[in-house]
Amino acid sequence: MIGKPNYLIEAWSLTEHGLDIDALARSESLFVLSNGHVGLRGNLDEGDPHGLPGTYLNSVHELRPLPYAEAGYGYPESGQTVINVTNGKIIRLLVDDEPFDVRYGDLLTHTRSIDFREGVLSREADWVSPAGQRIRIRSRRMVSFTQRSVAAIYYEIEPVDDSARVVIQSELVANEQLPMRRGDPRAAAVLESPLVSERHRARGSMVELVHCTRHSDIRVAAAMDHIFDGPRSLGVSSESEPDAGRVTATAVLAAGETLRMVKFLAYGWSEQRSLPALRDQAVAALVAARQTGWSGLVDEQREYLGEFWRCADVEVDGDAEVQQAVRFALFHVLQAGARAERRAIPAKGLTGPGYDGHAFWDTESYVLPVLTYTAPAAAADALRWRHSILPMARERAQLLNLDGAAFPWRTIHGEECSGYWPAGTAAYHVNADIADAVIRYVWVTEDTDFEVEVGLEILIETARLWRSIGHHDLSGKFRIDGVTGPDEYSALADNNVYTNLMAQRNLIGAADAVQRHPERARALGVDAETAANWRDAADDMYIPYDAHLEVHPQSDGFTHHQVWDFDSTRPEQYPLLLHFPYFDLYRKQVVKQADLVLAMQRRSDAFTAEQKVRNFAYYEALTVRDSSLSACCQAVMAAECGHLSLAHDYLREAAFMDLKDIEHNTGDGLHVASLAGSWIALVEGFGGLRDTGRLLSFAPRLPEGLTRLSFGLRVRSRHLRVEVVASSATYTVLEGEGMTLVHHGQEVRIPPGQPCTLDVPPAPELPRPQQPPGREPLRFLHQVNGTEVRRAETRRAENARASAGDRPE
């Protein structure tokens, strides 16, 4: 069973048959369990072997210096790195003094599976020890959505042929030794022994450990307790030391007899609370979990996920792999934010240390659109975290001689952590992305209290920022110069179209919110005159256009740059940032990821249909997708422009980013934004969803490979279900009042509970646009009615996705 595992294509689960010792890090990421507060990588129960151990608490980090060859004004002085906290997953097993280790003896069968409706990771192993003793091991692991500090493990051992003396060692371990990781700029900085012991205690079947980080002064408490069910010979003892605690159970089992253990884990952390208070918090959570019991926790988990899937489920007929992938994606997006509760949603969620555990603009631009329509409370909490770091964002703006608030490009705690300022500090669009998420959330939920208490202040401070960054030129146009847009192969550009259009929405959204809440706005120092000034800047916003080529340049002068020599670029030289100097990239027409194309997606109202088609074709020929953020955006605009087969290819690339390890770095953690992108590609792409605040608009069309698409939205106090087939779309308001929406440009009233079916017009016939040589979307074998067929004769070379390059830092 040691070898390449087989992952089955199943509608509601991910199952691995077999075990690949050399690819453990990847499977550990795929089988992560998290609730947004606690994250457990899918390491084997026995701890060894492992690819990358990982137990994470949202926002628990350590500080590290940011070295510079030459210091400069405004450079961040320290970085923040997510740390591996106390590991409670470890359950070591000895059978007649032989440790259970899959590398020794014979592993007859090994299966791991996670059902997205249950949220429990199941494992079964049939193992023969080197001495010939055959044992069956079954375990189930969960991180609770309903009791956010709690995780639990059900563990069962059964001798098959002969009696056996078994010893279970259930452990809590701090400061685990982590493997050194080199050669990937996205891999987390490895911090050795970041936790300092403050307390350890063992009694009965319970152990408590309390630690504090060395530099960031964050206190972490972890506790475990156990319930055993076995023969009368069962003996249990416990012990603790500064960095470890252990509960040991020993029994002699006859063939066919079973020893069962339930292990309850509880975590707590704080920057402010005292040691006794934090210890008591963890112990209280442990007591509550034990009272609920394993079965009760599983029932709560299933009920929580049932309510989520009732509205959020996306059904895809015709492509079984995409069906599995989008549910896998939604499950992990929910895990990333469900119980984050006023903490960041990192780019990797709590699945691994990639990107140092930082949150970027990915959260607001990719993850929150999904959560806003499917789990709006989680979206609101992510934005409340942004609101909580406003004081630091104001300080950052003041340091940069700007008004308002300048949110960090990358952070855990709230301070800017980007040591590469052309792609960090200069990427001011993150502020408009946050404002856009606020505006969208208010549009979708009509949550007035949130707007008054949280959203308004964010919109005001970001509008102030744009007013101070930009200026009116001699012609009266409002310009935003010297910024970096989403395409990090073009830095410090003037009038990046994406940035300008998103800033325009920010300014208008802030002015509208001030008008709705004048008293609260006055308390924040904003009057009608200030709001009118923001509207003037928005009305005068300069959007470059190349009349000769009849396309929008990504920024001023971009279409006059020399085009990158794609024909002479070898496949192994991608991603370009690892093989060419930025000086070369910044002055050429080459696009790392969707930028102008993303502008057309986010600000669809700012472009005509003809402009979208021309722009899309132009930028397809320049975009190399050296970022996992790009494929889903290109899928959306390909679908809108009528390139449905191409959109399907991009959908699959986004959906399989981690399931097929396209970037060869899934071992560092999942690409949460790309996972969210599979929903975006389906719902905004083939569903044609656009939301401008007044009415929802849909322009659904399916590619040849899909026969049916169905998805649900929580919107304006309603549960709307949309079902699309080749020739028609059906809209049903399952809960709430009727609503008016737009279908392919036509306003339609949808009564409550009454399906409304409308014709879908055919897509225009357009030539398929060309990508740079060798950078066509990846094409995979996929299944139709259980039979694998090839969708295309060619695919990019496998090494075209080198093992790094998603972030310039």
611 is annotated as contributing to ligand binding: no
Sign, Cα dihedral of 278, 412, 185, 49: positive
Cα-based distances in Å from 6 to 2, 9, 661, 786: 11, 10, 14, 16
Residue 704: active-site member: no
Q: Catalytic pick from 62, 176, 321, 488?
A: 488
What whole-number distance in Å separates Cα of residue 39 and Cα of residue 669?
11
DSSP string, 504-562: HHHHHHHHHHHHH-HHHHHHTT--HHHHHHHHHHHHTB----BTTTTB--SSTTGGGSE
**Was 660 annotated as part of a binding site?**
no
Which alpha helices (H) appear in 10-155, and where do they start and end?
24-30
Tell me if 4 is assigned to a ligand binding site: no
| Inter-residue contact 352 to 29 (CB < 8 Å) | yes
Contact 673, 347 (CB under 8 A): yes
Distance of alpha carbon 643 from alpha carbon 620, whole angstroms: 12
Question: Do the strands 314-317 and 471-472 form a parallel or antiparallel pair, or are they unpaired?
Answer: unpaired
Distance of CA 36 to the CA centre of its chain: 10
What would the DSSP string read from start to end of 384-451? Answer: HHHHHTHHHHHHHHHHTT-SS----SSBSSSS---S-TTTTTT-THHHHHHHHHHHHHHHHH--HHHI
Find the farthest-apart pair of alpha carbons in the chain and give their distance in angstroms, rounded.
Answer: 90
Q: How far apart are CA 373 and CA 339, in angstroms?
A: 17
Report which of 497, 532, 510 is spatially closest to residue 458, judged by C-alpha positions: 510
- Known binder of ligand: residue 362? yes
DSSP string, 45-66: TT--S-S---EEETT-EEEEE-
**Phi and psi for 232 in degrees, rounded to 5?**
-65, -20
Q: Please choose, from the candidates 470, 490, 346, the residue with its C-alpha nearest in 3D space to the C-alpha of residue 427.
A: 490
CA atoms of 61 and 253, how far apart (whole Å)? 44
What's the count of helices (H) and strands (E) in the chain, helices before strands? Answer: 19, 35
Please tell me the distance from the alpha carbon of residue 108 to that of residue 314, in angstroms, as a whole number: 37
Q: Are 666 and 29 in contact (CB under 8 A)?
A: yes
- Would you give the distance in Å from CA 677 to the centre of its chain? 9
CB neighbour burial string for 214-248, b if at least 16 within 10 angstroms, e if fewer: eebebbbbbbbbbebebeeebebebebeebbbbbb
What is the rounded end-to-end Cα distance, in angstroms, of the chain?
Answer: 39
Element (H, E) at 283: helix 275-312
Measured between alpha carbons, how far is 135 from 100 in angstroms, rounded to an integer? 9
- Closest C-alpha to 655, from 637, 636, 682: 682
CA 713, chain centre distance (Å): 19
Q: Annotated active-site positions, please?
A: 488
Annotated binding site, which residues?
361-362, 592-593
Annotated binding site for substrate, which residues?
361-362, 592-593
